[in-house]
Amino acid sequence: MTTSTTPAERPRRIRTTEDSVLARMLRRPGTVAALVILAVIAALCVLSPLLPFDGTTSHTDQRWTGPSAAHWLGTDDLGRDYLVRVLEGGRISLFVGVAATVASMTVGVVVGLVAGYFGGFIDDLLMRLVDLLSSVPWMVLVIVASVFFRPGLWTIILIIGLLSWMDTARLVRAEALSARERTYVGYAAFVGERPLRIIVRHILPAAVPTIVVAATATVGNAMMTESALSFLGMGIQAPLASWGSLLNAAQGSLQKAPLLAVVPGLLIAVTVFCTNVVGNGLRAAVLREGGR
C-alpha cells in the first residue's frame, strides 16, 4: 500500500547555512554593476582589433575631427581613429594593472608568509625592510627607479610590481602569525613536515581570502600609477599607447579637441572606481557581510 504526501508534508530542501563568497557578492547590486562595467570595458579593449576602424594610419587632412559615423570619437592630432586608440590604450593599461599586481602579490605573499611563519630574526629583518620602503612615498621610489631603467612596458610592470608589495606583506604576515598558532600547524611541525610544505599546505590557504581582497586594491593602484607615470612621460612609450600616455598627448590640443583628454581620463576613473567597488564587495563577502 502506498501513501501520498501533501505538499505541506513533503520534506523541505535542506539549505546550507554557509553561502559561497560568490553568492554573497552577487547579492550586492553595486558590486554586480561594477563587475559588469569592468567586463564590458575589458571585452571592448581585448576585441578592439576586430572593429572596422583603422587606428594606425595617419590622415593629416582629418586631424581633430569631431565624432561622426566614420569616427565615433573623432580623430587625434595625426588623423587616427580615436576610438581604436582609446581601446588599444585600455588594453595596455589593463595588462599593466594585472601583470604588475601579479608581480606585487608574489613578492608580498612570499615575504609575508616567510616573516609570519619563521618569526624571530627573519621576521624582524623583513619587517624593517618593509618599514624602510614604506617610509618613502612609493611614487617617489617609482619615479626614481624609472630614471635608471629604459622606459617601456615591461619596465613599468616590474617597477610598479616590485615597489608596491609592502602592504600585502603586512596583511599576509598577520594571517601567517595567526595560522601558525593553530593546532594542526603545530602538529604538522611536530611530526616532521618540512617548513615549505607546512607553509604551502596549511598557512597559505588560511591567507587566501586576504590575498584575493588585497589583489583587487593593487590592480587599481597599479593602473593609477601607470597612468601617472605615462602622463609624466616616464611610462608607456610610443608606438604603444595607454590611457595615461593618451592624456599626455592630449595636453596640446585641449582647446581644439577636449574629447581627447576627457575620454581616457573618464575611463581611468571609471575603471579604478569599479575595481575598488569590486574589492569592497569581495571584502564584505569574505567577512560574511554580503547582504544577510
Q: What is the DSSP letter of 8?
A: T
Q: How many helices (H) and strands (E) does the chain have?
A: 12, 0
Cα(82)–Cα(46) distance, rounded to whole angstroms?
16
Side-chain half-sphere CA neighbours of 128 within 13 A: 7
* pLDDT number for residue 101: 94
Helices (H), 136-258: 138-148, 153-162, 166-179, 183-190, 195-198, 204-231, 243-249
Range with the lowest mean pLDDT among 96-105, 115-124, 131-140, 202-211?
Answer: 131-140
Indicate if the pLDDT at residue 290 is higher than 70.
Answer: no
**Torsion region of 233: left, alpha or beta (phi above 0 gives left; psi -120 to 50 gives alpha):** left
Kind and range of the H or E run holding 111: helix 82-118
Mean pLDDT of 5-12: 44
Cα(125)–Cα(288) distance, rounded to whole angstroms?
35
Give me the amino acid identity at 95: F
pTM metric for this prediction: 0.82
* pLDDT number for residue 125: 94
* pLDDT number for residue 54: 67
Cα(82)–Cα(91) distance, rounded to whole angstroms?
14
Q: What is the DSSP letter of 201?
A: I
